Structure 1
Amino acid sequence: MNRPRVLVTGATGFVGGAVLPLLRSAGAHVRVLAHRRSVAPGSYAEVVDGDLTDPATLRGVCRDVDTVLHLASYIGKEEERCVAVNVEGTRHLVEEAERAGVAKFVQLSTAAVYGNGPLRELREGGVEPRPVSPTSRSRLRGEQFVLRAGGAVLRPYLVYGTGDRWVLPALLRVVRALRSGLPERGAAMLSLTEVGDLAASLAHMAVSTPPRRAAGVFHACPSRPVSLRELVVGAHRHLGFTLVAGDQSFESARGELVRAGCDAHLLDLFGIDHWFVATRLATVVGRAPETGLSTGLAAHAAWYREQLPLL
């Protein structure tokens, strides 16, 4: 049996770092698209240089590849950069994959494309996406090129674990600011995905899922959501976060965040229901993320305790 040949973008990123060892363990021939960050060639089968924003540099990168695993994205508030990387960059890569006859294209996106919510027990196709940030708007637009080409798009919500520079650092800012209590008793239900679990789903889809089944949108979240209060208690127990006591209204909490100099949008992320159902991923791929919060936080506690003071 021939080894599956996989081109990976975003290999040096948060999720990419967890995916690559799994691809190697599965016997895949891994070709890494490198841009700016140095990549040690000995760590992978192949390293090729290329820039998603410059289609001329992508010529030939998909040659002799079975699957493109597109993990690269720009996360930030610069609209122009978001469009250049997440929209046009994805378009350029899809076009190059089609030119090379790649059988399967798998993209990592985000459930943030659905907007602020509330979203409860949401299945794929349950509502129209209504993204509110430059990042999520551009990632939704980029998805369309993948879907039109018959590829797969995986949408986790909040992803945590070793390498996380966004989710739990943001939660830390929130709990430090909310001195009067969590909004609405911390009852918001959230889908949190441990990075290793997400990586396993991506690797399985890239290597083992037939192309005809690796198509469409897939939520990539555990079956059981956690409440904001459960998340705060878990972060306190495993990572030493402040344990927020008391209760206040959503608007009161928003005002407290703003007075503390925090982005009020963080309350939309953590304080409103964002609960997604991943039945389709479990059915089609044969697995969906299932690591519980306590287990996941414990597994990554040492990294967080070392890194959070530096973030």
Structure 2
Amino acid sequence: MRRDQMVCFEFGRPVPSAEPEAVLVVGGTGFIGSAALRALTASQQRVGAVKALVRRVPEVSEAVPGVEYVTGDLTDPGSLRGVCHGIRTVLHCASYIGGDEARCRAVNVDGTRALLAETARAGVPRTVLVSTTAVYGAGPHRDLTEHDHTPLPASPTSRSRLQAEQAVLAAGGSVLRAPLVYGAGDVWVVPSIAELLRRVPALPGDGTARQSLVAVDDLARLLAVLAWTPERIPPRSVHHAAHPHAPTLREFVSLLGDTVGLPVPAGVLALDDYLARLREAPGRVSAHQAGLLAEDHWYRSALWSRVDCSTGPGHRVRLTEAAPWYRGVLTPRSPSTSDAV
């Protein structure tokens, strides 16, 4: 590995990294990956160095102290050469999410295979892939275990992420299927609900559909446990990474009202009527995505108890902690002088 590929920050200063048996987080500047880095460096189980594979080394102010950042690109196999040397566990948190099928394949499928080729070359004992419950496809899904339903992905993203799962499992790795993930850094889950409430001030269906969720900090702690003690789960295994409590849509929106200040609508609309109203007020969130909130997506997860990892303080506390982030991203920005035409 080239020296110019590696940068390590310790309290804002570059320092050498000499600890053996490191953990490598792929996608270390992403929403889940950066949270995993914070959890890994804070873990009492830590026994080695923490590294992050990124396309661009972050600024010192944005870097996680104590993390060695290694540059590489999943779509460029040559750039991955040597990045897995001395690694005990790879946490694969990188993915492309979008409708570009070619890009989905390049990053999620071919990129994962290129990474696995490098883990095999370096003799990495275990790879853990963060996937998504969206691989199951259309619901309703009620209290689903990992073995109750054959995945039937409906989008290019989900299809490619299922293929990534299959590659990791074939290589002896493990898969965590995460549901909706929220917390500081979330630009999709809560912002999408906020957008829908602005466009149609009502809940779709009767508001009683249950949605599995997990706070990003709790998911990150779970990943840290698996990184330092991967023997707690068997190879070639799939696990749900959902918080045990799956709130109804109305319950979650009420929590968002209490913690973030979103409006809580009293009324509901039959799904067809709701979607018709939504189409009259175009926005980022599609009618298909909005319709998912009107059906159960509820997944059972026994992994927390299996690996002896706390599920955390619960949705209300986690939303309260993330409230400053959400208020910042949800508050319309005032035009500045530089914005003027």
For the aligned pair, the TM-score class normalised by the smaller chain equals: over 0.9
Whether the aligned pair in 2 keeps the contact of 1:161 and 1:195 (CA below 8 Å) is yes
Deviations 1:257-278 (A, max 9, x none): 2221141122233221000000
- The sequence identity of aligned pairs, in percent, is 44
2:233 and 2:307 in contact (8 A); partners too: no
Counterpart among 20, 26, 31 of residue 51 in structure 2: 31
Q: Give the SS at the match of 2:186.
A: coil
Are residues 1:223 and 2:240 paired?
A: no
Alignment-derived partner of residue 124 in structure 1: 146
**Distance in 2 (alpha carbons) for counterparts of 1:228 and 1:139:** 26
Q: How many angstroms does 1:109 deviate by?
A: 0.8
Structure 2 residues without counterparts, runs of 5 or longer: 1-18, 334-341
CA contact (8 A) 2:25 2:36 kept: no
1:51 aligns with 2:39: no
Correspondence list, 1:1-311, <5 A: 4-26=21-43, 27=46, 28-36=48-56, 38=58, 40=60, 43-179=65-201, 181-210=202-231, 213=234, 215-262=236-283, 263-279=286-302, 281-287=303-309, 289-309=311-331
Whether the 8 Å contact between 2:126 and 2:230 is mirrored in structure 1 is no
- Structure 1 unaligned residues grouped into runs of 5+: none
- Name the TM-score, length of structure 2 as normaliser: 0.85
Residues 167 and 154 of structure 1: CA distance in aligned 2, closer, same or farther (over 3 Å): same
Whole-angstrom CA distance in 2 between matches of 1:282 and 1:214: 17
Matched position secondary structure for 1:62: coil
CA–CA distance in 2 between the matches of 1:85 and 1:14?
Answer: 17
Q: What displacement does 1:229 show?
A: 0.4
Q: Do the aligned partners of 1:221 and 1:290 also contact (CA within 8 Å) in 2? A: no
**How many Å apart are 1:295 and its aligned residue?**
1.5
Whether the aligned pair in 2 keeps the contact of 1:19 and 1:199 (CA below 8 Å) is yes
Q: 1:63 to 1:4 in 2, by over 3 A?
A: closer
Query: Cα RMSD (Å) of the superposition?
Result: 1.9
Q: Give the AA of the match of 2:190.
A: L
Structure 2 counterpart of 1:24, one-letter code: T
C-alpha displacement of 1:214: 5.1
Equivalent residues, number = 308
Q: Distance in 2 between matches of 1:39 and 1:88?
A: 29
Cα deviation, 1:54-83, whole Å, max 9, x if unaligned, reads 111111111111111111111122111111
Q: Aligned to 2:52, what secondary structure does the other structure show?
A: strand
Deviation digits for residues 114-153 of structure 1, max 9, x if unmatched?
1120000000021011112221111111111101111111
Assess, with a 3 A threshold, how the Cα gap between structure 1 residues 124 and 42 changes in structure 2: closer, same or farther.
closer
Contact preservation (8 Å) 1:106, 1:214: no
Report which of the two structures shows the higher radius of gyration computed on alpha carbons: 2
Instruction: Give the structure-1-normalised TM-score.
Output: 0.93
Contact kept in structure 1, 2:271 and 2:291, CA below 8 Å: no
Aligned mates of 2:180, 2:80 — CA distance in 1:
31
Quick check: 1:172–1:241 contact (8 Å CA) kept in 2?
yes
Alpha-carbon distance between aligned partners in 2 of 1:297 and 1:212, rounded to the nearest angstrom = 29
Contact 1:104 1:211 in 2 (8 A): no
- 2: CA distance, partners of 1:44 / 1:59: 23
